[in-house]
């Protein structure tokens, strides 16, 4: 709970949840960031999930529309996200492209061990 408490207290983070019959069926977590390469800010989607039983019912679309609304409200000019490039993410890739996102780069991660 401390993690969510810290995120919720930060004005540059936004978490949205979609409920259906008092059950969380979708969630998006975002943060405001600043471009290094030019002036301005953007929103990074850090997490987005929709329960399997609620996919293809507009939940993801609604979350992304609200993300765009928040992005405009805070004066940011772009939204970026990373999505794994595993075969099971193919539907997500298609969805993001239908929602107007372009594939631009690959992401890399290095886990640091103690």
Q: Phi and psi for 62 in degrees, rounded to 5?
A: -65, -40
SS3 102: coil
Per-residue pLDDT tens digits for 2-61: 998 999 999 999 999 999 999 999 999 999 999 999 999 999 999 999 999 999 999 999
Indicate the pTM of the whole model. Answer: 0.88
Tokens 């969510």, located at residue:
4
Q: Please choose, from the candidates 12, 96, 28, the residue with its C-alpha nearest in 3D space to the C-alpha of residue 63.
A: 28
pLDDT at 106: 76
Residue 31 near residue 22, CB atoms below 8 Å: no
Of 5-19, 26-40, 69-83, 86-100, least confident by mean pLDDT is: 86-100
- The pairing of beta strand 41-50 with beta strand 23-34: antiparallel
pLDDT at 84: 81
pLDDT at 30: 98
CATH number at 2-98? 3.40.630.30
């Amino acid at each position: 709970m401390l993690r969510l408490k810290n995120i919720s207290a930060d004005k540059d983070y936004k978490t949205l949840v979609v409920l259906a019959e008092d059950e969380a069926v979708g969630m998006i977590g975002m943060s405001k960031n600043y471009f290094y390469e030019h002036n301005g800010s953007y929103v990074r989607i850090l997490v987005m999930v929709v329960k399997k039983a609620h996919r293809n019912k507009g939940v993801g679309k609604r979350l992304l529309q609200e993300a765009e609304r928040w992005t405009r409200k805070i004066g940011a000019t772009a939204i970026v996200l990373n999505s794994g490039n595993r075969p099971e993410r193919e539907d997500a890739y298609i969805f993001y492209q239908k929602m107007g996102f372009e594939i631009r780069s690959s992401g890399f991660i290095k886990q640091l061990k103690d």
